[in-house]
Amino acid sequence: MIRMSGRFRSALIIGGQGIRARKLRTLLSMLSLFLGVLAVVVVQAGSEFAQKELLADAERSMAKDGTLQMYMPPHEKAAPVALETLRGRQDAVAMFENRAIIGEPNVAPVNPGGAPFDQPGGPGRFYRCDNRGNCTDASQTGAPPGKAIELNLVALTGDIRPFRGFRQDSGQWLDFASAPSLAPRIVLNKEAAKGFTRYQVPAQMHVDNGTADSTPQIIGVVDDGGASYGPMAYVRADELLNWMKPVALSDGNARLQVLMSPQARDLEQTLKARLVAAGVQAGEIYVNRINARERVEDQLAMMRLIFLGMAALVLLIGTAGILNVGLATVGERIEEFALRRAVGTPRILLAGIVLSETLLTGLMTAGAAIGAGALGIKAGASMFGSRFPSLANVEFPWQAGVAGVVAGLVAGLLGGLIPAIRAARIPIATVMRA
Predicted local distance difference test score (pLDDT) of residue 56: 77
Domain boundary among 261, 289, 317: 289
Predicted local distance difference test score (pLDDT) of residue 384: 67
Predicted local distance difference test score (pLDDT) of residue 50: 78
Domain residues for the domain of 312 are 2-60+294-433
Give the span between the Cα atoms of 226 and 255, in whole angstroms. 16
Considering the domain architecture, whether residues 244 and 311 belong to the same structural domain is answered as: no
Considering the domain architecture, whether residues 328 and 276 belong to the same structural domain is answered as: no
Considering the domain architecture, whether residues 76 and 202 belong to the same structural domain is answered as: yes
Mean pLDDT of all residues in 172-193: 92
Predicted local distance difference test score (pLDDT) of residue 430: 66
Domain boundary among 259, 289, 319: 289
Residues 170 and 220: beta-carbon distance below 8 Å = yes
139-153, 263-277, 378-392: which is most confident: 263-277
Considering the domain architecture, whether residues 244 and 135 belong to the same structural domain is answered as: yes
Considering the domain architecture, whether residues 223 and 154 belong to the same structural domain is answered as: yes
Mean pLDDT of all residues in 207-225: 90
Predicted local distance difference test score (pLDDT) of residue 119: 66
Considering the domain architecture, whether residues 35 and 22 belong to the same structural domain is answered as: yes
pLDDT of 124 higher than 50: no
- Which DSSP category does 286 fall into? E
Mean pLDDT of all residues in 364-369: 90
Mean pLDDT of all residues in 70-91: 87
Provide the pLDDT confidence category of residue 219 given band limits of 50, 70 and 90: very high
Residues 223 and 173: beta-carbon distance below 8 Å = no
Considering the domain architecture, whether residues 361 and 397 belong to the same structural domain is answered as: yes
Q: Is the dihedral of CA 96, 102, 108, 113 positive or negative?
A: negative
- Give the count of beta carbons closer than 10 Å to the beta carbon of residue 287: 14
pTM of the model: 0.69
Predicted local distance difference test score (pLDDT) of residue 121: 44
Provide the pLDDT confidence category of residue 167 given band limits of 50, 70 and 90: confident
Predicted local distance difference test score (pLDDT) of residue 303: 75
Considering the domain architecture, whether residues 233 and 355 belong to the same structural domain is answered as: no
Considering the domain architecture, whether residues 159 and 270 belong to the same structural domain is answered as: yes
Considering the domain architecture, whether residues 189 and 112 belong to the same structural domain is answered as: yes
Domain boundary among 241, 268, 289: 289
Question: Which residues are paired to 225 by β-bridges?
Answer: none
pLDDT of 388 higher than 70: no
Instruction: Using alpha carbons, list the distances in angstroms from residue 192 to 112, 137, 151, 226.
Output: 13, 21, 7, 10
Mean pLDDT of all residues in 180-184: 92
Structurally, the chain folds into a number of domains equal to 2
Considering the domain architecture, whether residues 73 and 206 belong to the same structural domain is answered as: yes
Give the model confidence (pLDDT) of 310-355 as tens digits.
Answer: 888 888 888 888 888 888 888 777 887 778 777 777 888 888 888 8
Stretch among 173-177, 255-259, 343-347, 371-375 having the lowest mean pLDDT: 343-347
pLDDT of 51 higher than 70: yes
Mean pLDDT of all residues in 158-182: 90
- Which DSSP category does 108 fall into? B
Predicted local distance difference test score (pLDDT) of residue 2: 42
Considering the domain architecture, whether residues 313 and 224 belong to the same structural domain is answered as: no
Share of the chain above pLDDT 70, in %: 85
Mean pLDDT of all residues in 88-110: 89
Mean pLDDT of all residues in 402-420: 88
Stretch among 32-46, 64-78, 328-342 having the lowest mean pLDDT: 328-342
pLDDT of 11 higher than 70: no
Provide the pLDDT confidence category of residue 291 given band limits of 50, 70 and 90: confident
Average confidence score pLDDT of the chain: 82
Share of the chain above pLDDT 90, in %: 20
Predicted local distance difference test score (pLDDT) of residue 258: 92
* SS (HEC) of 243-272: CCCHHHHHCCCCEEEEEECCCCHHHHHHHH
Q: Residue 433 corresponds to which amino acid?
A: R
Mean pLDDT of all residues in 14-18: 69
CA atoms within 13 A on the CB side of 323: 14
Provide the pLDDT confidence category of residue 141 given band limits of 50, 70 and 90: low
